[in-house]
A and B are shown apart, each in its own frame.
Chain A
Amino acid sequence: MSPRGRSLSTMAGLALVLAGSAVLSLVTGPVDTALSDAVSALVGGDGGGTQAVILMEIRLPRVLLAILVGSALALSGVVMQGFFQNPMADPYIVGVSSGAGLGATVAMGLGIDFWFFGLSGIGLMAFAGALIVTALVYMISLRGGQLPVTTVLLSGVALGALASSITSYWMVAVRGDLFDTQRILFWLMGSLASRRWEHVHLAWPQILAGALFLQWMARDLNVLVQGEENALYLGIDVERSKRLLLVGASLVAAAAVSVSGIIGFVGLVVPHVMRLWIGPDHRWLLPASMLGGAVLLVNADLLARIVIEPAELPIGIITSVLGCPFFLYLLRKRRDIGF
């Protein structure tokens, strides 16, 4: 099969699996619901019934948010790995997670957890924190219009560590009481518990815009991963592409983190799985990774909801448990992680 045909069939398969997982997630949960109830609720049959509320107001936004966050993290991961040409890169590498964590901690510590105009104070502060840290990394690294990758990587790691330290200091020393510490810890572990339509509305515009933009940049990314020198010979404005890619990937990651907390593994491993599966062409790798990330997170969230019901597991535990064996299997089967 041609690479293109292979990519298309893989994506079609993933889309089917995603649709199936989404339906399964809708009809599965602590409260028993039948498929027929889901259908009638979706079609808009009975408005106020308990089943309809559970399906439409509790489960549906959560499934959609899992799709959004999963695809955003995987997308950002592909771009970051391409940008840094480093298999260890993930969406959080330029300090997005630490910045978001600090923003959320400050919001919770100062009691800014009100909502205004349907926007979450914690979500906004997390988003702002992620963007501020990324902007600092960007400004520190930018020298004479150039963005040396190593400088971005190292300043990202350094600033991320600094933001994490401030977060920890806040938790230990500035906390009002144990409740705040507990809430911050849970937020940092990442979860989709108790998320509503507001969270979906808060995240989808940035993620959609970022996805379209990065898709448009896919060709540049393809050339960049061949080496910056090659890209220059091929007539690409390397520095401009790098700047745009870094901004796009950070924005998408920040949007995801602001509504879900810090969910690990998805952004690191899904891109590798897809690269092993369909090859390194980013025009296909980007959308395929989004689908893969969405599939992983929808299923992980389903398990998070039902395993220790009525309590919930932090979703990060499950993404690793689900993703790790599959990834290791692929790694054994084909040892070559081509960029």
Chain B
Amino acid sequence: MDWRWRWWLGCMLFLGCIGRAEADEVVDDLGESFALEQPPMRIVSLAPSNTEMLYALGLGARVVGVTEFCNFPQAADSVVKVAGFNTVNLERVTQVRPDLIMAIRGNDMESLRSLRELGFPVFSLDIQSLSGMGDALRRMGKLLGAGTRADALADSLDLRVKRVRSRATSRSERPKVLWGFWGEPIYTAGAGTMIDDVFRTAGGQNIGARAEGAWPQVSLETIVLWEPDVLITTHVPGGSENLPNELMRLQQMDGWKMVPAVRDGRVFYVEGDWLLRPGPRLVDALEAIATYLDGEGDFEK
């Protein structure tokens, strides 16, 4: 055989091997690939969304450490707290002897590096869209040896998203939706955020995307100018039951009373833990918002 052929054959075999190795690997959102010999059994979650996904996959029993803000499902409350807001408690994590740490992009990078230095595998997620969540769930399932369950969960979530989407496209108008709160300063969600994706999927236009940046600060003047048809808030002073009173107050306030959403009473409350965490409950938020945009009757699942 000609040496050239041999060389080519060698190359192909080599590439074939690489390809096969890659098939078992799972890549996280920081580009690191993981090929764990055994499915992790002691998992530390460094974000409420990760915790919710782990429990939704039925892997709650493997969770040995969570953050102070992991309040759902209730079982997560009794797990050891190993992290606070923006700080990871290295010694608490070390103490629970994890074989996998599930992080998110928002975690303190310096802490994540410290954890890697201490020898813990750190799998980081950065979920930016509804479709990204299904993808993340599938990768998690593969990594954790729960592929079937993860695929089923991701499929069912994708299906629910698809239903909302097809219903939205059948609707003729696309109301202008604003996420925000009427206290100073007013922050809203810009383009590229999860909220932006949810609003558009639900059949609205995210009016906040007109401003620059992911989380732009806007003035009341701008909001009056934008004329949003629907206002979605995740915070009501005095609790969500107080929304009717707050709406009445807004309808008497200069500026706010001119905003179509306020004038027509289309101000709605969505649980912040649903809308702001990229976990399975995001689809609940999506369905709720789709109902509000419909403006009539209950949304059929």
Contact = CB atoms under 8 A, between A and B. Distances in A.
Interface of A: 29-31, 50, 53-54, 57-59, 113, 115, 120, 122, 172, 175-179, 182-183, 186, 193-196, 198, 308-312
Nearest to B117: A196
A54 B82 contact: no
Nearest to A32: B95
Contacts, number: 79
A196 B114 contact: yes
A88 to B, nearest CB: 32
A58 B84 contact: no
Contact of A310 (B68, B94, B114, B118): B68
Contacts of A182: 86, 106
Given A179-B105, A183-B109, A312-B84, A50 B97 contact: yes
Contacts of B105: 179
B88 A31 contact: no
A58 B108 CA distance: 16
Contacts of A195: 114
A30 B89 contact: yes
A53 B85 CA distance: 24
Contact of A175 (B87, B106, B213): B213
A53 B215 CA distance: 40
A30 B108 contact: no
Given A53-B94, A54-B91, A198-B117, 19 more contacts: A30-B91, A31-B95, A50-B95, A53-B118, A54-B95, A175-B213, A176-B214, A179-B105, A179-B106, A183-B108, A194-B88, A195-B114, A196-B114, A308-B84, A310-B87, A310-B89, A311-B87, A312-B84, A312-B87
A126 B128 CA distance: 31
B92 interface: yes
For the side of the interface on B, what is the size category? Answer: 20 to 34
A179 B86 CA distance: 9
A169 B300 CA distance: 47
A178 B118 contact: no
B65 to A, nearest CB: 9
B63 to A, nearest CB: 15
Contacts of B169: none
B83 A310 contact: yes
A190 B68 CA distance: 22
A37 B13 CA distance: 53
Nearest to A193: B87
Nearest to B193: A177
B83 A194 contact: no
Given A178-B214, A310-B81, A311-B87, A30 B110 contact: no
B162 interface: no
Nearest to B109: A113
Q: Which of B68, B82, B92, B217 has the most CB of A within 10 A?
A: B92
14 contacts: A30-B89, A30-B95, A54-B91, A54-B94, A57-B117, A58-B118, A120-B110, A177-B214, A182-B86, A194-B87, A194-B88, A194-B114, A310-B82, A310-B83
Contacts of B88: 194
B75 interface: no
A311 B89 contact: yes
User: 8 smallest A-B Cβ distances: which pairs?
Assistant: A311-B84, A310-B89, A194-B111, A312-B87, A177-B214, A54-B91, A31-B95, A194-B114
Q: Which of A178, A308, A310 has the most CB of B within 10 A?
A: A310
A274 B82 CA distance: 39
Contacts of B9: none
Contacts of A179: 105-106
B86 A58 contact: no
A186 B84 contact: no
